[in-house]
Amino acid sequence: MDFIIHEYIKIIENYLRGIFADDGQTNLVSAMNYSLLAGGKRIRPMLTLMCCEALGINKEYALPLAAAVEMVHTYSLIHDDLPAMDNDELRRGVPTCHKQFDEATAILAGDGLLTYAFEHISKSYLSDNQKVKAISALSGAAGPKGMILGQVLDMNLSPKTEYDILNMYKSKTGELLNAAAALGAIAADGDGNEFLEYSSCIGTAFQIKDDILDIEGSEEKLGKPVGSDDKNKKNTIVNFIGIDRSKKLVDEYTKRAIEFSHSLGERGKLFVCLAEMLLLRNN
């Protein structure tokens, strides 16, 4: 299965490299490409391609949507790292965008990636109906009722209970993973909800694991700082239920995602593989 994942990543990387290839070397283009092409696990675009293929359509058809969700995700990382937010200096193994360039450029590079994601969908070969559904799914997930709301809750340190924390994770991280899966389904003319159980389970598991890695991980492997949450006095699930129970929760959500994968038959094997990879990841 690993070589299949490798093949997906290769297709995604190739496609991403082409996005701004004809746009010259302005400071803005350099900054957008710097963050977009710095690596990263590419989980969201991978999920998009997987969901498209699982509904019987060639995964490459979903590439414009996969790239759009990765552009939105990369913008969210650039802004998340800014001094006014988490104030971090390392991302994807290289200095954060505002460190490599400057703060204004990083803000604008984030803005550029966010808006271009939608321009890219609108100019793609997808049908008008697919475009509208895709733009609606992605903007809803990224917007003030989705990821932005989650980031507001995270910044205000407002979650006070385990329930609040999990809700905050659903907004800041889960929604974009749900959108990634929905986009793949939309490319295959599905309704977008086919993989919601899977994406929401791995979404919650993913953020809990991120918080655990912020404590137990290594900066070298993660390519981003450890101890960022502690530095910023963030309320994470680990503060509420401890590290052992947090790990159990990651196991439980992963198990649920794997159970769902089994319902997909042969096509579910890659879904099992991705869920296990995310459970065991150290980056």
CB proximity list for 168: less than 8 A, separation 6 or greater: 150, 153, 154, 159
Instruction: Pick from 34, 36, 40, 105 the residue near ligand IPE by CB under 6 A.
Output: 40
Kindly give, in sequence order, each residue whose CB lies less than 8 Å from that of residue 229, ignoring residues fewer than 6 positions away: 211, 214, 215, 236
* Shortest reach from residue 35's CB to ligand IPE, in Å: 9
- As beta bridge partners, residue 91 has 94
The helix/strand/coil state of 263 is: coil
Q: Return d(Cα 202, Cα 255) in angstroms, integer.
A: 9
Q: What is the DSSP string of 21-66?
A: TTSTT-HHHHHHHHHHTS----HHHHHHHHHHHHTTS-GGGGHHHH
Q: Which of the ranges 72-80, 128-136, 244-252, 269-277 carries the binding residues for ligand IPE, by CB under 6 A?
A: 72-80
Please choose which of Mg ion, ligand IPE, none residue 105 contacts, taking the beta carbon within 5 to 8 angstroms, the exact cut-off set by kind: none
Residue 92 binds which of ligand IPE, Mg ion, none (CB < 5-8 A, kind-dependent): ligand IPE
Residue 91 has phi, psi (to 5 degrees) of -150, 130
Among 45, 72, 79, 86, binds Mg ion (CB under 5 A): 86
Among 147, 153, 205, 250, binds ligand IPE (CB under 6 A): 147
* Footprint of ligand IPE on 201-220 (CB under 6 A): 207, 210, 214
Task: Report the residue number whose CB is nearest to ligand IPE.
Answer: 40
Annotate each residue in 221-260 with x if it binds ligand IPE (CB under 6 A) or - if it does not, as one string: ---x---x--------------------------------
Q: Which is nearer to ligand IPE, 73 or 131 (CB)?
A: 73
By CB atoms closer than 10 A (0-12, 13-18, 19+), residue 137 is buried
**175 contacts ligand IPE (rule: CB under 6 A):** no
Size (the chain), residues: 283
For binding to ligand IPE (CB under 6 A), which residues are involved?
40-41, 43, 76-77, 80, 86, 92, 147, 151, 172-173, 207, 210, 214, 224, 228
